[in-house]
Structure 1
């Protein structure tokens, strides 16, 4: 891989400092003092793969330069170096796709080198995608340049337009686990399926990689747009068979309307992308329309993402533990390890905010390993202190599931901490397992061979069925809190929970109900023969010291509520 990069800044002191740092890290560095000089150098040097530019420069801003580069050199990755005062301009560049990452002044050397390494890896991916562009070979499918030309034609003619931007969730994991050839087959299949459901007046375009755009020459209401997107994606509610493997495919989407949300093709697509990003970040899959506030939201999230890179080094992250209580003995039999982030200036940041940031930035892998190592070390410490044994649960993210040599990494962490694999349970979200059932079975069997317990988290929110449960080597099902919340009032939820518990027991699995908050919920779950409960009715997630205190004050459930 070429390790040549181009630095552009009109301040010589910054160029010297950056060049020295990057040269010591093994990179070949070319420098320029202006955008015009940078473009001339790129024409002369075809080994440059990454460009780092300041935002404020004479004659041409960093944003304008990177937009120019993206049009002329599609596999070069742009990184912007900026002060916080320029953040609004950076957001516009990020939303337009011209900037891969941004770095703030003054920069942290470790963060700088990590981001540059990621930029070179992204350049390799772009190079592969460039070689694949046009390879879908579908005559009816527009490509990026045709999309923009069609939009310009409609908009200049005064036609109101709806632009829906879509991408495939977790597509990178399919590339990693299936290989590019099979992933290409998947893209062709997805495109053909969507074309069959594209409105007669609409056009479907492929923007590169796993990104598509649906153009409709009309301005629709939110309900009408939702119905159109639902119809477009309805076939993907069923499993997709690709190269002999069954995959569950899901999309995120957002849309923008012209002229209100964008008066040019570029601004309309940029804002539709911002709405898509908002949909991915929220996890709600509501396919929202662009709102100006989304840019403000993006600004805050980008700043948080930057801070998250340093949170581990600054000891801002911690692990808390929420007890799981047996309905047979009334004793604590397990604890779920949960991550918390206390920001220096913002205080406690909700996991619902920072976990998606960790997922999208790639930080979830090192953070996930840190949580496992920290919780395992604490479990060993309690064991030495004579604390009664219990099962330690740690969540495993979708990104971690696709890590190479995952079982070996987990085994190494357990060896270092000194706890037995049988003392550990890994909780895996149902949807991630079902996305690629064959690969999931293989991976879970590797983990199971180590002696680790396995649990499906948030059961009932995804797409599992008896067929898949029979194939997965699972020990425990966790009933999602959204079902427990409606007990015992909802007859439908009551029947569903009863059936899940019965099914699990028939398959030799135990059942944990999470989100238990009331006495009525406890009574109902006890009557339904649920095995364990977890929730605020007994204890919120607590620190290690507080959890030990809970262990020393058992049982938590009175005898009158125990199963007989």
Structure 2
């Protein structure tokens, strides 16, 4: 496995075995340096045999716990700052983890920002408490020689008790901990998850989905759909967002919420991203030549795509090939990706801006205190997270939404609200002076041939004629929403 690439679910057993054999270094209780042993197999063998022996000797009321700690976005840090900063980060993370473990716990470092802990103890609650302390150690940013890095970790935990240890091996425990860590990252980075039946089922489903996705990409069975973005001032379709879609003859329609995270974990996101990029730019050129010259095409970029050194040349080549004005192309980057390393993000985004393209921050407003950084980023569009739209009847969320809109306008940015599903949401957003919106209230994602560039009439019913409008602005929830 190459450094900086997390393994997919299908690589799990090979990765676990290989990581131990390659020489994970045992951490001394008070040493953050994690020195590499001269004999690369001695420490992994010791760790493996210690857990194996503990499984054989665990009493009926005892347990052996395994915790797998993953540094979130470690590949981003490595790609942006280089190996020296990555190694410095590993030492600091090891030091913080060491402060949380007990004297009889043991820790080793694996590849790609992973640490593994073996925790003998009386039961799962102790292991859960250790995991909770580890996650809490990263509430504050890490100071490195390049500056502050807002690092979080995700932890997967599992345990063997006296009742079930006969059926378990060190590798199987690592497999379970790995599945739990991936589950934690899918839910929300910077937390821990304990392995259970649901995590096991999720791992099996992820493996099968990854296998099917690989075949679908190979056989060209994925497509791109487009969701119109509507001006809340004029009712015109001013942009369309390109979205990957997977409709399988046997599996049916697979949700992007299912296959996109798996594509990112397995490394297939690069191939999927290239498909969307090539298809969307070609389609934008078709619409441009057909007279829809002012319609903006927006495309999502993952963190792996941002780090791809071939991204900028590929974009430039596609623009030249299709004769598309770069001002008609906008890339959307998730707020979480940008805020994982603001300094590095500004460098990468600056290179994209140099091509003349527009940039948007997606899912803005959740998870980070990022308003102070907003003015430093070369961003044209701010996409308000749909969670605010869905709860816009709530006074506090509406106040936050208005503050985001006002701040964006002050900084010269355009605002877009996502996930709009009701007429009332449209009217409240219009009253808050949001510029654009998209969602199922207007249009679901659709094939290119079905996109309608017509005008939506907002005049009927008018704001004053809607009996729920004044109620929503007053801060109470309309009756039909409460039901």
Question: TM-score band (shorter)?
Answer: 0.7 to 0.9
Match of 1:518 in 2: 422
Instruction: Give the alignment of 1:91-102 within 5 angstroms.
Output: 94-95=12-13, 97=15
The 2-side partners of 1:206 and 1:288 are apart by 20
The 1-side partners of 2:424 and 2:442 are apart by 13
1:475 deviates by 0.8
- Equivalent of 2:92, from 167, 186, 189? 189
The 2-side partners of 1:327 and 1:431 are apart by 27
Q: Does 1:254 align with 2:156?
A: yes
The 2-side partners of 1:99 and 1:363 are apart by 23
Match of 1:32 in 2: none
In structure 1, runs of 5+ residues without a counterpart are: 1-48, 51-74, 80-89, 101-125
Match of 2:477 in 1: none
Match of 2:276 in 1: 371
Instruction: Give the alignment of 1:149-298 within 5 angstroms.
Output: 149-152=49-52, 154-155=54-55, 156-158=57-59, 159-199=62-102, 202-218=105-121, 220=123, 228-259=130-161, 262-263=165-166, 264=168, 266=170, 267-282=172-187, 287-298=192-203
Instruction: Give the alignment of 1:323-472 within 5 angstroms.
Output: 323-387=228-292, 389-472=294-377
Match of 1:478 in 2: 383
Q: Work out whether residues 67 and 118 of structure 2, in 8 Å CA contact, stay in contact via their aligned partners in 1.
A: yes
Superposed CA offset, 1:279-313 (max 9, x none): 34555765322224544443332233223223234
1:403 deviates by 0.7
Q: Work out whether residues 247 and 434 of structure 1, in 8 Å CA contact, stay in contact via their aligned partners in 2.
A: no
In structure 2, runs of 5+ residues without a counterpart are: 35-42, 465-483
Are the structure 2 counterparts of residues 556 and 366 from structure 1 closer, same or farther at C-alpha, using a change threshold of 3 Å?
A: farther
Are the structure 2 counterparts of residues 439 and 137 from structure 1 closer, same or farther at C-alpha, using a change threshold of 3 Å?
A: farther
- Equivalent of 2:226, from 312, 316, 321? 321
1:196 deviates by 2.0
Q: Work out whether residues 484 and 513 of structure 1, in 8 Å CA contact, stay in contact via their aligned partners in 2.
A: yes
Match of 2:438 in 1: 534
Match of 1:545 in 2: 449
The 2-side partners of 1:536 and 1:315 are apart by 27
Instruction: Please give the TM-score of this superposition, normalised by the length of structure 1.
Output: 0.71
1:251 deviates by 2.2
1:262 deviates by 4.3
Superposed CA offset, 1:488-518 (max 9, x none): 1x22212211211121112111111111112
* RMSD of aligned Cα (Å): 3.2
Instruction: Please give the TM-score of this superposition, normalised by the length of structure 2.
Output: 0.82
Q: Does 1:554 align with 2:472?
A: no
Q: Work out whether residues 246 and 438 of structure 1, in 8 Å CA contact, stay in contact via their aligned partners in 2.
A: no
1:396 deviates by 0.4
The 2-side partners of 1:199 and 1:521 are apart by 52
The 1-side partners of 2:136 and 2:105 are apart by 17
Q: Work out whether residues 517 and 535 of structure 1, in 8 Å CA contact, stay in contact via their aligned partners in 2.
A: yes
The 2-side partners of 1:515 and 1:262 are apart by 47
1:545 deviates by 1.5
The 2-side partners of 1:245 and 1:454 are apart by 25
Are the structure 2 counterparts of residues 497 and 261 from structure 1 closer, same or farther at C-alpha, using a change threshold of 3 Å?
A: farther
The 2-side partners of 1:460 and 1:245 are apart by 24
The 2-side partners of 1:315 and 1:369 are apart by 12
Secondary structure in 1 matching 2:406: helix
Superposed CA offset, 1:308-356 (max 9, x none): 2232342311111111111111111111110001123212111111112
The range that moved more, 356-365 or 282-291, is: 282-291
Match of 1:492 in 2: 396
Are the structure 2 counterparts of residues 439 and 460 from structure 1 closer, same or farther at C-alpha, using a change threshold of 3 Å?
A: same
Q: Work out whether residues 135 and 190 of structure 2, in 8 Å CA contact, stay in contact via their aligned partners in 1.
A: no
Comparing both chains, which one has the higher relative contact order based on Cα–Cα distances under 8 Å and sequence gaps of 6 or more?
Answer: 2
Superposed CA offset, 1:343-386 (max 9, x none): 23212111111112211222211221221111111111112222
